Amino acid sequence: MKKHVSLTLAAAALIVLSSGFIFRDLVKDILSDKNEVAVAPAEHAAPTKTLYDFTVKSLDGKPVALSGFKGKKVIVLNTASKCGFTPQYADWEKFYKEHGDKIVVLGFPAGNFANQELDSNEEIASFCKKNYGVSFPMFEKISVKGDDQAPLYKWLTTKDMNGWNDKAPTWNFCKYVINEKGELTHFFGSKVKPEDDEFKKAVGI
């Protein structure tokens, strides 16, 4: 009996210890992101592709050619429904309503960080509409890093393809800014919001 209790206690201690390491790593990831910013240098290689070379699927499974956004700036977000940054949905919805005629917000749900996204596209669509009234374009759940990285994010994070940037998302709600020619110009970390001066400068408002 004593041996059984000892093994049980040892297993419980191991679980608690492991959870502590996981929690520590999650906190480390979030805190290290800060207000991270990367800007395209004045001189950089020409991109081999632009945003307009990609077609993605909407939350209801319909193909959307991103060439349809020619002539507008585009903000690409990797979103999640169960994250500390999830309330940013409200910030970006407000921004989209105010500037959507010139600057489009595109949301790409992903579960790469602590699996903080819902399982199905239907659940995601319902959550976004019910809780934040999201009206900006949302797309099917994808992977934004790793071996199964979606082609769009492969372009956003590969210097040889976009001309200068190799910065992948460090957590949920990172932002990539695309200019009116479909070229990547800026990367912003999770904590950066639409009202931040650096972001407003990047999009010209």
Would you please indicate which residues are annotated as catalytic (active-site) residues? 83
Residues 6+ apart with CB under 8 A from 162: 47, 49, 155, 156, 183, 184
Residues 6+ apart with CB under 8 A from 116: 80, 81, 82, 83, 172
